[in-house]
């Protein structure tokens, strides 16, 4: 079994020590490095080649949002799970838009943090549609109309079938569930998802879900 290579980023040494103790004991996880600030992340990633980065959002010099955006803009970027103290936080939403695959609260039980790391390493987001809607509602406001217009303009590049798959992803459907719903094979769903990511210049399913929400497509679909 190949261990998941994990990089810990938090400015609090006690938090890092606790995470290393909790997660490093798992047979399928290897802690390959630690950083106290987002500014050190890229060099550490180049040196340690992690599969997943567990990233604190609030750090005094280079915060986790900036570090996440920098990482996810690179080729062969590791997956990022952000650490936060709040469920509904505009910085969490910004990190997800920047390419984070999900978030966990700092007081989350160790087993759930470990499960999140495993899910992200396997290519699955750690964000339920309900939590996505809560975050979007928290961040909604005066910018909603502008965001919706921009999102709809971006979605216009998709053909009808790709749009259907994008909406199904926005609802939180797995590839198997989407395949059954839209009467296509799982391989075809995967192909459509890959094309959607490429056409929209996105890097994970969470970003597809956020964009379909922004565009108002989930509301139109009755969700």
pLDDT given at position 130: 56
74 in helix, strand or coil? coil
pLDDT given at position 6: 94
pLDDT given at position 163: 92
Indicate yes or no: pTM above 0.85.
no
For residue range 69-79, what is the model confidence (pLDDT) as tens digits? Answer: 888 888 888 98
Q: Is pLDDT at 202 greater than 60 in this prediction?
A: yes
Most trustworthy range by pLDDT among 37-46, 71-80, 213-222: 37-46
């Amino acid at each position: 079994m190949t261990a998941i290579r994990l990089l810990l980023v938090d400015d609090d040494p006690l938090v890092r020590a606790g995470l290393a103790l909790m997660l490093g004991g798992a047979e399928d996880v290897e802690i390959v490095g630690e950083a106290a600030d987002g500014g050190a992340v890229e060099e550490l990633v180049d040196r340690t080649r992690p599969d997943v980065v567990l990233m604190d959002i609030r750090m005094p010099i280079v915060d986790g949002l900036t570090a996440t955006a920098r990482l996810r803009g690179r080729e062969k970027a590791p997956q990022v799970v952000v650490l936060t103290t709040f469920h509904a936080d505009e910085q969490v939403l910004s990190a997800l838009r920047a390419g984070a695959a999900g978030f966990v609260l700092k007081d989350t039980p160790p087993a759930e943090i470990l499960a999140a790391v495993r899910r992200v390493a396997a290519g699955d987001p750690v964000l339920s549609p309900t939590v996505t809607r809560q975050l979007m509602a928290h961040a909604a406001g005066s910018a909603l109309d502008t965001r919706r217009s921009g999102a709809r303009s971006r979605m216009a590049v998709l053909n009808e079938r790709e749009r259907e798959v994008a909406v199904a992803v926005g609802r939180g459907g797995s590839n198997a569930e989407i395949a059954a719903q839209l009467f296509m094979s799982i391989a075809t769903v995967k192909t459509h998802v890959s094309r959607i990511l490429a056409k929209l210049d996105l890097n994970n399913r969470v970003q597809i879900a956020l964009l379909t929400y922004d565009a108002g497509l989930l509301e139109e679909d009755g969700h």
